Structure 1
Amino acid sequence: MSAVPQMSISGIKQVLPHRYPMLLVDRVDELVPGERLTARKAVTANEPWYQDLPADATDEQHHYPSALLIESWCQAAGVLAAWKNPNPDVLAGQVMLFGSISEVVFRRPVLPGDVLEHRVRLFRELSDTVIFEGEALVDGETVLEVGRVVMAMRPASELVGAAGDAGGSPCAT
């Protein structure tokens, strides 16, 4: 298939339900439907997870949280999974759910000023479930390897109210 033109933040917001402070993909550089995606996320010292650090915080204290590194990569995978049928509303239509992750290796810390390049490859697609693999790089150096991520697309109507009477909402990726 042919590549989709570069996608800006406005296009990403039409595909993913995430918003500030948890929208962790800034741009899609390449998207080849059913195959692969390359996306970017610029890490800055102005992000909320750094706000409580003291003025004399060390570089080690500024390491980008590993959970957010994974989240950012998974959001890039979510763009590849949902680009054909975008649904930024988690209360209607198909909802993207994170299933599992395996074979994750963190190669080096990520710091403010780094620009993450997420490379996502579609490993397998089974009906409404997709399996991805890939890596994240900074300046051409691998900082994260992802062996497998499983995501499923499910109807929101089957998930709303699943949290019981607590009034919970479905949990998107």
Structure 2
Amino acid sequence: MHDYAAIRRLIPHAHPILLVDRVLEIQPYEQIVTSKNVTGSEPCYAGLADDLGSRAFSYPPSLLMESWGQGGAILWMERIKAQGQERSGSLFLAATRDVRLHRAVLPGDTLRHVVRIDQYVADCVLLSGESWVGDELVAEVGSAIAVMRPAESIAWEA
């Protein structure tokens, strides 16, 4: 469906925070399935000591949720593009609720995220879905909200 280069053109994320490698399936406006290969060379593992156990290399839940949310961003941007519009701001995964983590994700795992957009509301979307490694459910998201805000309304501190 979409390879890495197409994803980079579609959403405003870049290395090291672009956390989607490929779009596997898309049902326009409704659902997307993406993949993310977790490797030992992820920036989150930099500086970890060599003598740590496997648990130290669990992929951070915040990055798992960011990767999942970027699938929703891709689906949302596809809708905007299909309507002949352009993105008018920065995208944020603002909140998640009812998140259940079932097992750690480790280097070597390939995440498969299923993201549904349950509702479009102006410059927000309501999402739900899950993440898998193979046939094993690793995370569930009961609900989430993503927002688009004009760049000039965002206060960045140095």
5+ long unaligned stretches in structure 2: 82-86
5+ long unaligned stretches in structure 1: 1-5, 87-91
Question: What TM-score comes out, normalization by structure 2 length?
Answer: 0.89
Q: Distance in 2 between matches of 1:162 and 1:62?
A: 33
Structure 1 runs of 4+ aligned residues shifted over 4 Å read: none
How far is the alpha carbon of 1:116 from its aligned partner? 0.1
Q: Select 2:136's aligned residue among 133, 138, 141.
A: 141
1:73 and 1:29, CA in 2 relative to 1: closer, same or farther beyond 3 A?
same
Structure 1 counterpart of 2:114, which letter?
A: R
Question: What TM-score comes out, normalization by structure 1 length?
Answer: 0.82
1:109 and 1:162, CA in 2 relative to 1: closer, same or farther beyond 3 A?
closer
Q: Select 2:97's aligned residue among 94, 98, 102.
A: 102
Alignment of 1:71 with 2:66, yes or no, is: yes
Structure 2 counterpart of 1:44, which letter?
A: T
**Matched ranges for 1:1-173 at <5 A:** 6-85=1-80, 93-154=88-149, 156=150, 159-160=151-152, 162-163=154-155, 168=156
The alignment-based identity, stated in percent, is 36
Q: Distance in 1 between matches of 2:16 and 2:89?
A: 23
How far is the alpha carbon of 1:57 from its aligned partner? 2.0
3-state SS in 1 of match to 2:51: coil
Structure 2 counterpart of 1:81, which letter?
A: W
Q: Is the CA contact 2:88–2:148 (under 8 Å) kept in the aligned structure 1? A: no
1:102 and 1:56, CA in 2 relative to 1: closer, same or farther beyond 3 A?
same
Comparing 118-127 with 132-141, which one deviates more in the overlay? 118-127
3-state SS in 2 of match to 1:81: helix
1:25-61 C-alpha deviation (Å, 9 max, x unpaired): 0000111111100000000001111121112221001
How far is the alpha carbon of 1:85 from its aligned partner? 3.1
Computed over aligned residues only, the root mean square deviation of the Cα atoms, in angstroms, reads: 1.7
1:35 and 1:150, CA in 2 relative to 1: closer, same or farther beyond 3 A?
same
